[in-house]
Amino acid sequence: MSKGHYYLSLQKKMIFSTLQHEISAILNDLYSAEIESNAIKLEKTKDDFEGDLTLVVFPFLRISKKKPEQTAVEIGAALKDRLDSVDTYNIIKGFLNISFKESFWLQSIADEKIDSNYGYLKSDTTEKPIVLEYSSPNTNKPLHLGHVRNNLLGLSLAKVLDAAGKNVKTVNLINDRGIHICKTMLAWQKWGGGETPETAGVKGDHLIGKYYVLFDQKNKEEAAGGEENDTVLMKEAREMLIKWEENDAEVRALWQKLNDWVLAGFDDTYKRMGVEFNQLYFESQTYLSGKDIVLEGLKNGVLVQDEDQSIWIDLTNEKLDRKILLRSDGTSVYMTQDIGTAAKRMQDFNAYEMIYVVGNEQNYHFDVLKKTLIKLGFEWAENIKHFSYGMVELPEGKMKSREGTVVDADELMDEMKNSAAAIAKELGKADNLSNEEADRLYEMIGQAALKYFILKVDPKKNMMFNPEESIDFNGNTGPFIQYTHARINSLVQKAEDLGITASNWNTEIGLHDLEKDLLVLLLDLPQEIQKAADTLSPAIIANYSYDIAKAFNSMYQELSIVKEEDSAKQQNRLMLCKATQQTLTNSMALLGIELPERM
RNA sequence: GGUCUCGUAGCUCAGCUGGAUAGAGCAGCAGCCUUCUAAGCUGCGGGUCGCAGGUUCGAGUCCUGCCGGGAUCACCA
């Protein structure tokens, strides 16, 4: 299913399928062998060799019964004979490198409409949606670097899937209840002195985070090295939780007030990152769900009950373990809740597929969840996908809230912005900008730096976040791509000022190698989006964008537009610049990154 | 201990699902701004792809074993 041709854009598809078809016919002609045309593999020719596409002939030696070189010569000659678009070919060992005519490439890009929709498929909203859950924070502390990776991945995945023509719905399940909230409530009540985000002058989530830490400190003091669960404070917190569950008016009011502060704080952070959801779920409303399903499963004999009345699923035959679903006292656990919310969400959206963006430390949990749901008879659970991403590590090791090594999301974004401002001032980039324009620009650059730094890494892998490297805006970074865009913008502007305009490609003239490299790359956007959607990897888009920026800058360095004397060439070059600008805009938008006109 | 996962240049990462001489960025060194933005471009140095076997025309990529790092295996969430 994931054959090479599967990912291709219309243009590339035509090139590939035509070639495959012709090669298949040639093999039949020359060696009377029947080979399915889509079984013929073509790949991009490596940079070190001349050519556009390469056919590896080794697999055909069995049917040609000839040496690799000779087989390649025969196929190459026949191909040139049959296809007008083929310019030349060369053979190195068993590799047949095929070059197309420049006019063919120019015609290919002329046939693509490179506008703000280039590369994007229209989403079919009548299709059953893919429901994408991400973020899913606890309301007892502000968002940190780990959440940032989650949020950025979720944000980008939603855009990538949408661009690939999927109907995507995003949801956020907010963990707003439980013992951790009661701890902060208690701490605020005891030592807060009525402090609010307004009086304290801090965001609500940060204020609450302070009390969560304070509770921990006070509790440690009380325990004095002993059992931290046996303190009076912990007892009070547990009592508060019980009151909460009993709907005690006073406790509920306090809980509501503090949660609202936190959620308002999250909203600011989300807005700044560009994170949005189609629907929010709150655990305070869903935490009881799942129980009915479990009891039903027990009745059906899918689940087992121990002597102490606790209910379990036995997955030892699935290479997993036994897992508890209802405690002996009849209360539910995390898994129970997840079973319930999955079923609810399935109903709410009539989902085709449900994707959970959750860190890889929960691989086992989702394995169990999925298999349990399937055993319980929910066929749709086959379409549950745990998008498991790696942890973010710091140079000094893992983030530990107790050791104060947690990187706060808001502070991080501020630092990125400040770095952008400092560098811009040093380089004199902002001299002609108003204060507001400059401020917007620094924010845009800071965001790009952070987002790109995190999204360019394969999501499955653990990644290292080095603060010093993250504020380096040279090389393979978001600001580098933004800079490329700003350069093009300025260039196009300049050309227009000089009366140089272009709205069509001249397909019958020559192309410089540097122009052709860029042009061919631009034609890849649709297939890169498909690939990113299929593999759920924004990193593919990031690396592709970088390749474009690099190819452009190389060309920019060598070839001038305003000085070009051949006006047909000049127009093509201008067209190429505009196409590059648009392609970069479209690809970076999938990462939630905006590109400035100037910088 | 069981299961999963990762190991590519000094550092951070790519490597198109098995193809050619393994590539970028950062860091280091050397060049390029009176000419479209030098947050740029060009070049140099830097590798036993953790180790050992296997599969085949061909392995960084697939299989097995070992070494090393990480995660997970709660009547926590």
DSSP string, A406-447: --BHHHHHHHHHHHHHHHHHHHTTTTTS-HHHHHHHHHHHHH
Q: Which tokens in the block code for residue A142?
A: 């502000």
A341 burial level (CB within 10 Å; 0-12, 13-18, 19+): buried
Which pLDDT score is estimated for A124? Answer: 85
Which pLDDT score is estimated for A20? Answer: 87
> What does the alpha-carbon distance between residue A131 and residue A125 come to, in Å, rounded to a whole number?
13
ipTM for the predicted complex comes to 0.96
A384: enclosing H helix or E strand: strand A384-389
Which pLDDT score is estimated for A93? Answer: 85
How confident is the prediction along chain A (599 residues), in pLDDT tens digits per residue? Answer: 333 333 445 555 667 778 888 999 999 999 988 888 877 888 889 888 889 999 999 999 988 989 999 999 999 999 999 998 999 999 998 899 999 999 999 999 999 989 999 999 998 889 999 999 999 999 999 999 999 999 999 999 999 999 999 999 999 999 999 999 999 999 999 999 999 999 999 999 999 999 999 999 999 899 887 788 889 999 999 999 999 999 999 999 999 999 999 999 999 999 999 999 999 999 999 998 999 999 999 999 999 999 999 999 999 888 888 999 999 988 889 999 999 999 999 999 999 999 999 999 999 999 999 999 999 999 999 999 999 999 999 988 777 766 677 899 999 999 999 999 999 999 999 888 999 999 999 999 999 999 999 999 999 999 999 988 999 999 999 999 999 999 999 999 999 999 999 999 999 999 999 999 999 999 999 999 999 999 999 999 999 999 999 999 999 999 999 999 999 999 999 999 999 999 999 999 999 999 999 99
Q: Which tokens in the block code for residue A90?
A: 């060369």
Provide the CA A135 to C1' B34 distance, Å, integer: 54
Provide the CA A429 to C1' B43 distance, Å, integer: 28
Which pLDDT score is estimated for A432? Answer: 85
Name the residue closest to the C1' of B27 by its CA. Answer: A469
Nearest nucleotide relative to A367: CA against C1': B4
| Rounded CA Rg of chain A | 29
Bridge partner residues of A387 (DSSP) = A357
Provide the CA A579 to C1' B34 distance, Å, integer: 31
For chain A, give the number of residues.
599
Provide the CA A38 to C1' B24 distance, Å, integer: 32
Nearest nucleotide relative to A573: CA against C1': B36
Which pLDDT score is estimated for A13? Answer: 60
Provide the CA A215 to C1' B27 distance, Å, integer: 44
Nearest nucleotide relative to A96: CA against C1': B20
Which pLDDT score is estimated for A14? Answer: 66
> What does the alpha-carbon distance between residue A257 and residue A329 come to, in Å, rounded to a whole number?
31
Q: Which nucleotides of B are covered by protein (CB under 7 A)?
A: 2-6, 11-17, 19-21, 23-27, 35-42, 57, 69-77
Provide the CA A76 to C1' B3 distance, Å, integer: 51
CB atoms inside a 10 Å sphere around CB A229: 10
Provide the CA A2 to C1' B17 distance, Å, integer: 8
Nearest nucleotide relative to A491: CA against C1': B36
Q: Output b/e per residue, A549-588; b: 16+ Cβ within 10 A.
A: bbbbbebbeebebeebeeeebbbbbbbbbbbbbbbbbbbb
Nearest nucleotide relative to A449: CA against C1': B39
Provide the CA A516 to C1' B20 distance, Å, integer: 22
A123's CB contacts (< 8 A; 6+ apart) are A162, A165, A166, A167, A168
> What does the alpha-carbon distance between residue A233 and residue A190 come to, in Å, rounded to a whole number?
11
A232 burial level (CB within 10 Å; 0-12, 13-18, 19+): exposed
- Decide if A15 contacts A108 (C-beta within 8 A): yes
Name the residue closest to the C1' of B12 by its CA. Answer: A464
Which pLDDT score is estimated for A324? Answer: 94
Provide the CA A54 to C1' B30 distance, Å, integer: 36
Name the residue closest to the C1' of B33 by its CA. Answer: A557
Nearest nucleotide relative to A420: CA against C1': B39
> What does the alpha-carbon distance between residue A147 and residue A137 come to, in Å, rounded to a whole number?
8
Nearest nucleotide relative to A287: CA against C1': B77
Provide the CA A226 to C1' B47 distance, Å, integer: 53
Q: Which tokens in the block code for residue A226?
A: 């002993």
Nearest nucleotide relative to A326: CA against C1': B75
Which pLDDT score is estimated for A403? Answer: 67
Which pLDDT score is estimated for A88? Answer: 94
